[in-house]
Amino acid sequence: MKRKDFIQLSAMGLGALVLPNFSAFGTPVDPSRFLNDGMDVKLKKQLADVALNAARSKGATYADVRIGRYLNQFVVTREARVQNIANAESFGVGIRVIANGCWGFAATNVVTKEAIAKAAERAVAVAKANSRVTTTPVQLAPQKGYGEVSWKTPIVQSAFTIPVKDKVDLLLNVNSIAMKGGANFVNSAILAINEQKYFASTDGSYIDQDIHRLFPTFTVTKIDRGSGKFETRKSLSSPVGMGYEYLTPTADNKVGGIVTRYKDRYDMLEDVKNATADVDQKLKAKSVEPGKYDLVLDPSHLWLTIHESVAHPTELDRVLGYEANYAGTSFLTLDKWKSRNFQFGSKLVNVVADKLQPGSLGAVGYDDEGVQCGKWDLIKDGVLVNYQAIRDQAHIIGLDHSQGCCYAQSWSDVQFQRMPNVSLQPGKEKLSVDDMIKNVEKGIYIIGDGSFSIDQQRYNFQFGGQTFYEIKDGKIAGMLKDVAYQANTQEFWNSCTAIADKSDYRLGGAFNDGKGQPGQSNAVSHGSSTTRFNGVNVINTARKI
Amino acid sequence: MAILKKEEAKALLQKVLAHSKADECEVSLRGEEGGNIRYARNAISTAGDIDNTTLSVTSYFGKRSGTATINEFNDAALERVVQRAEELARLAPENPEYMPLRGPADFKDSKTYVPATAAITPDTRADAVAKSIQVAKEAQLEAAGFIENTTSFSAILNSKGLFAYDTDTNVVFTITTRNSAGTGSGFAARGYNDISRLDTLSATKIAAAKANSSAGAKAIEPGKYTVILEPVAATYMLENMFRGLDARNADEGRSFMSKPGGGNRIGEQLMDDKVTIYSDPFHPDLPASTWNRDGFPLEKTAWIDKGVVKNLVYSQYWAKNKGVQPVPQPSNIIMEGGNASLEELIKSTEKGILVSRLWYIRLVDAQTLLLTGLTRDGTFYIENGEIKYPIKNLRFNESPVIMLNNVEALGKTERSISIESYRSYLIPPMKIRDFTFTSLSDAI
């Protein structure tokens, strides 16, 4: 079976955005191997130098090498049984070079000096073959070498140190709560990822990083046997850049309201109980009347709208046309940025790119081309002020440095521009969700992310959700179903009329954001507080076959 | 490691299996080599050359199983990987859905390997891209494209004596051309086992023609329209339906193939009688693997016959549970067409919309398989049998099941790829009435 077939067939709706994909898909191994540190850093440095020297000797003017060990553990269950326990490891070397002014890349899973030298030569051969077709040489932003440095996700406990049995027990407990609560089906999973990445370049950097991500998730399904209708409710968890501590909540991590939501930690057992009640309500809920509504969007929902309509269109490679053949381009063209007065959203809208945010999926010390990461504004008081750029694009927007958002999903994939964490900043004035709702005459309060689609320039989008609550005259008036909203990005963000304060700020995220050819997966977080948008078009999605 | 020939793969797998002390054991090998070029703004942006080989061992003790994998092939490593799989199997929980390994079967050779494709070099790819970029430059357009070739082999051997081997070559090419004003965009996609069938020059010319003719698009009101879906648009729409041809999901009541009140829709007239969909790994225009990972030979299988649901995929476990024969997951999908050309479909249309391509299709409602997505890269208004003018892109909310109930006509089936999975299919252009568009998009 081809890798892409496996990915297709095993995509469980785990939040892939463009491609149903796993980061760094690897091969099954004994989970005890996860406790090994892997190759000694001194040996990695020796092998990296072999790659850099081999590339230079063949005519490369620049080279970087990534020695990557990618560990994935997926524990997948349904109802009372374990469906799959996958412990996968992928280890190999990717070498990127510039020769004759053109990029070349080669990768091998044979981690020996000989194979690495050969791969470096292949990378140079690829670059030279391609240079016949390319007239404009690559222009790299200067980058100082950092010497030997390291960075690690600040975790309390690695998910890989937790016995598989404990994870199975937790998931089966989750499933049991759902089934006892009247669910017909429940799928649950814990996905853990550890990227052990060693980067070296001819700039003089030797960067060792240890990155951890975790995603606990479930979907509860209930069927009305009489009508044959079924409804589902997904977990309100987020994928996170954390260890297993994410699953050890305290009262402080719980956000009260119509249903409990979670901040920095997650209570899977409590959420599945609530989900089972929600799904029951969804079956009985009123089908929405299409029309204009004021939308009050919880962070568990809004993260995805931010991701699609703000984070993707501010990717500079999209703006320039590098993604034109796949994901598309962007309506946020350079002239809009240069004008310094393009009103992307209302004055309340401030969006920040951040590669350092604690607990986020995108947090790393250095990106995959050896640039130290940071934080910068994308939208300031509603105006477009910046993009996301990497080393070979920085000069295009007048920068003398990369913004450090280059990433490859594995050693075998070439690194390219991927979005950092992109978050809507909370409101400056004290404002609670209740305060926001009480000012809504006709609206819908949406919790959780659902269906999503956006055009190739990021104008027209449509989003669903998990649960929808009708707001009538400032009060919640019951649950709705068959809800999706459609809007144009600029109109939508300019209709933003209220953002709750920082006490409501929470992170959501995408475990598998797809982009590029061949397709690659990236994990990224998006934070916000609950936000209101006025007069948004809502459609009814009910059909009969 | 190079791509192993059948006998080389078998010899290596036998060597590994000889180390097994488990009740049952299955060993498999997979190797892949290939490369790609990605280009944009009429220049190459990234390119790569990749190879990877893995050996996987799954050991069984009763209903417990464990899998381990390596990419080293010395004797000590081969013995170690078997031991590790057995250790894992002893630690694993029992699988209540365990099914015994299958014994020997007769697997016919597939027709998926073409030596010329396996011989592709970085220079071959660069030449193909150079032709494409040249066409774009001559048409004063910007080209962004992607070419990727892979050569792979797969082999499995188990302790019951089952052995299967397959080798495969594939090349995929997609091209988008845009004008400098950003007011026109065109696209073409090709996927073949045989590189000699790939003509990047003619494909880019088609994309260029679409880009030039799509400039100056007018807005029309969203609503229900007769549409003509070109194969690349229809493929992407239908792929979402093909993934749902699963009996277990249907029987469990959570699929568009579920029958209200219980059971599935096998035997039911679910679509227009012009709709016939089947799989055939021996089809000369779409050769595919002749066996699947569970060790089942793959043969011609009808899924939808004249609109009636004929088969759904039954895993071994679910087939046993339901007392029926397993129906393996297919390795390709073919939809029968009619005799009309795309031009004839257009000529027969009083009022309608020609859709070149669809984009960002996602599931809205699993119950009805309602999908949403958008037109892209060339959408045209048809009146009195002629293309009148380009129109702005539109968002649709439509179910492929409903769509296949509204078939007016089908054109000639052709090889087409999904723009999301890059899998190849044989799909006709199709004329569909009452296709539901719900909003306008400004995207070009």
Q: What is the distance between the alpha carbons of residues B172 and B149, in angstroms, rounded to a whole number? A: 6
Question: Smallest CA–CA separation between A391 and chain B, in Å?
Answer: 13
Query: Which two tokens mark B214?
Result: 């799509």
Residue B1: the pLDDT is 59
Interface test mutation site (partner B, options A109, A130, A334, max chain B beta carbons within 10 A): A130
Question: Smallest CA–CA separation between B5 and chain A, in Å?
Answer: 17
Cβ-defined contact of B365 to A541 (cutoff 8 Å): yes
CB A525, CB B154: distance < 8 Å: no
List residues bridging with A476 in a β-sheet. Answer: A471
Residue in A104, A322, A413 closest to B40 by CB: A322
Q: At what angle do helices A41-57 and A113-131 cross, to 10 degrees?
A: 40
Domain ranges for chain B, please list them: 6-211, 216-443
**Length, in residues, of chain A:** 545
Band of the pLDDT at A24, cuts 50, 70, 90? very low
Residue A135: the pLDDT is 80
pLDDT per position as a tens digit, B92-145: 888 889 999 999 999 999 999 999 999 999 999 999 999 999 999 999 999 999
Question: Smallest CA–CA separation between A545 and chain B, in Å?
Answer: 6
Report CA A422 to chain centroid distance, whole Å: 10
Q: What is the distance between the alpha carbons of residues A192 and A186, in angstroms, rounded to a whole number? A: 20
DSSP letter for B297, please: B
CB < 8 Å to B219, chain A? none
Of A81-90, A398-407, B177-186, which gets the smallest average pLDDT?
A: A81-90
Cβ-defined contact of A81 to B96 (cutoff 8 Å): yes
Residue B293: the pLDDT is 87
- Looking at the complex, does the CB of residue A271 fall below 8 Å from at least one CB of chain B? no
pLDDT per position as a tens digit, A320-369: 999 999 999 999 999 999 999 999 999 999 999 999 999 999 999 999 99
Residue B230: the pLDDT is 98
pLDDT per position as a tens digit, A460-502: 999 999 999 999 999 999 999 999 999 999 999 999 999 999 9
Report CA A443 to chain centroid distance, whole Å: 29
Residue in this structure with the two tokens 């926001």, named with its chain if needed: A436
Of A20-29, A142-151, A356-365, which gets the smallest average pLDDT?
A: A20-29
pLDDT per position as a tens digit, A258-311: 999 999 999 999 999 999 999 999 999 999 999 999 999 999 999 999 999 999
pLDDT per position as a tens digit, A427-450: 999 999 999 999 999 999 999 999
Residue A6: the pLDDT is 29
- pLDDT at A15 exceeding the cut of 70: no
CB < 8 Å to A106, chain B? 48-50
Residue A34: the pLDDT is 72
pLDDT per position as a tens digit, B147-201: 999 999 999 999 999 999 999 999 999 999 999 999 999 999 999 999 999 999 9
Q: What is the distance between the alpha carbons of residues B186 and B122, in angstroms, rounded to a whole number? A: 26
Residue in A127, A452, A457 closest to B443 by CB: A457
Q: Which amino acid is at B125?
A: R
User: For chain B, what percentages of helix, strand and coil (3-state, to nearest 5) are there?
Assistant: 25, 40, 40
User: For chain A, what percentages of helix, strand and coil (3-state, to nearest 5) are there?
Assistant: 25, 35, 40
Domain B6-211 has CATH 3.90.380.10: no
CB A183, CB A221: distance < 8 Å: yes
- pLDDT at A10 exceeding the cut of 70: no
pLDDT per position as a tens digit, B325-340: 999 999 999 999 999 9
* Distance between start and end Cα atoms, chain A: 33
- pLDDT at A16 exceeding the cut of 60: no
Residue in B84, B260, B443 closest to A456 by CB: B443
Q: What is the distance between the alpha carbons of residues A101 and A478, in angstroms, rounded to a whole number? A: 62
The answer for residues whose C-beta is within 8 angstroms of residue A84's C-beta and 6 or more apart is A74, A75, A76
Interface test mutation site (partner A, options B27, B28, B33, B52, max chain A beta carbons within 10 A): B52
Query: Which two tokens mark B276?
Result: 């016939």
Could you give the dihedral angle defined by the CA atoms of residues A310, A313, A316 and A321, in that order, rounded to the nearest 10 degrees? Answer: 180
Residue B204: CB atoms within 10 Å: 28
**DSSP SS3 for A134:** coil
Interface test mutation site (partner A, options B1, B33, B45, max chain A beta carbons within 10 A): B45
Distances (CA, A) of B397 to A484, B225, B394, B444: 11, 12, 10, 20
- pLDDT at A5 exceeding the cut of 60: no
Residue in A106, A185, A454 closest to B49 by CB: A106
pLDDT per position as a tens digit, A241-251: 999 999 999 99
Selected residues 225-244 of chain A with any CB under 8 Å from a CB in chain B = 225-230, 232
Interface test mutation site (partner B, options A85, A393, A453, max chain B beta carbons within 10 A): A453
The low-confidence residues of chain B, meaning pLDDT below 70, are 1
The answer for residues whose C-beta is within 8 angstroms of residue B254's C-beta and 6 or more apart is A185, A221, A223, A230, B366
Selected residues 150-179 of chain A with any CB under 8 Å from a CB in chain B = 168
Cβ-defined contact of A126 to B47 (cutoff 8 Å): yes
User: How does strand B64-70 pair with strand B43-61?
Assistant: antiparallel
CB < 8 Å to B97, chain A? 81
Residue B211: the pLDDT is 98
DSSP letter for B101, please: P
CA angle, A384 then A385 then A388, to 5°: 100
Q: What is the mean pLDDT of residues A104-126?
A: 94
pLDDT per position as a tens digit, A412-422: 999 999 999 99
Q: What is the mean pLDDT of chain A?
A: 93
Q: Of all residues in chain A, what percent carry a pLDDT higher than 70?
A: 94
- pLDDT at A8 exceeding the cut of 70: no
Residue B73: the pLDDT is 84
What is the number of CB-based contacts under 8 A between chain A and chain B? 257
Residue in B46, B126, B260 closest to A103 by CB: B46
Residue in B129, B373, B402 closest to A543 by CB: B402
Cβ-defined contact of A325 to B254 (cutoff 8 Å): no
CB < 8 Å to B38, chain A? 325, 516-517
Nearest CA in chain B to A486: B439
Nearest CA in chain B to A98: B46
Of A43-52, A75-84, B209-218, which gets the smallest average pLDDT?
A: A75-84
Q: Of all residues in chain A, what percent carry a pLDDT higher than 90?
A: 87
Question: Smallest CA–CA separation between B432 and chain A, in Å?
Answer: 16
Between residues A364 and A19, the one the model is more confident about: A364
CB < 8 Å to B145, chain A? 325
CA angle, B115 then B119 then B121, to 5°: 160
Cβ-defined contact of A518 to B368 (cutoff 8 Å): no
Residue A27: the pLDDT is 57
Q: What is the mean pLDDT of residues A94-115?
A: 95
CB < 8 Å to A112, chain B? none
